[in-house]
Amino acid sequence: MTDAIKIDVWSDIACPWCYIGKRNLESGLAEVAGDDDAPRVEVTYHSFELAPDTPVDFDGSELDFLAGHKGMAAEQVEQMLARVTEVAAGAGLEYRFDILKHTNTVKAHELIHHAKAQGRQLEMTERLLQAYFTEGRHVGRVDDLVDLAAEVGLDADGAREALESDRHVVDVRRDQEQARAYGINGVPFFVIDGRYGVSGAQPPEAFAQVARQVWAEHRSAAGDAA
């Protein structure tokens, strides 16, 4: 059997382009799933913190954070948020920056690693992004994260123990070290088979194209080995 394409995605829960990129990747893979020789793909998400110095409870709006913490003009921030909201809508996502609760994301990344160990990483990643960008949920506090974990079928007590023990911090740091080794300094960033890098929230057709190209390489390699 031909080996599956491995797509490793570096992203941050607080990155609006990461959710758009996730949805575009899924749309592109859905397109190739209808091919006569459809690629098999395994997607794994990895931790990346855009603003690790952010407090868990930030006192202010997303506009306040970007204008104050990042030193951007308020008008510039408003235009940027309007633009990303428009792009997100094109990907089928309804962003609500007016109710978004900006927070530190390290605990959310720890929870994704816990979910990965339980075979629910993709579900947990989706739920966190949805909660953050479209529902105004808090994704930085343990109690809130435990509730979200339970919503995707994870054991609440097990999720709480994992978060309170900090045992997945080492996994988060390992992902970040790998990102530095690859030279990744912005997200989303997609690494295909450890050989090809795709930066940014590319359109679905770009992901479909690269999936078909790499799958053809897999098929050729399998034929040569036969």
Per-residue pLDDT tens over the stretch 69-91: 778 899 999 999 999 999 999 99
CA-CA distance, 91 to 24, in Å (whole number)?
7
Confidence label for 225 from pLDDT (cuts 50, 70 and 90):
low
Which domains, ranges and CATH numbers included, belong to the chain? Answer: 5-225 (3.40.30.10)
Per-residue pLDDT tens over the stretch 93-145: 999 999 999 999 999 999 999 999 999 999 999 999 999 999 999 999 999 99
Task: Give helix 16-32 / helix 121-134 axis angle, nearest 10°.
Answer: 130
Place of tokens 């080996």: 3
What is the enclosing helix (H) or strand (E) of 7? Answer: strand 5-11
- For the four alpha carbons of 27, 32, 38 and 43, in that order, the dihedral sign comes to negative
* pLDDT at residue 226 tops 70: no
What's the confidence (pLDDT) of residue 2? 84
Lowest mean pLDDT among 15-19, 60-64, 86-90, 185-189: 60-64
Mean pLDDT across the chain: 96
| 3-state SS, residue 45 | strand
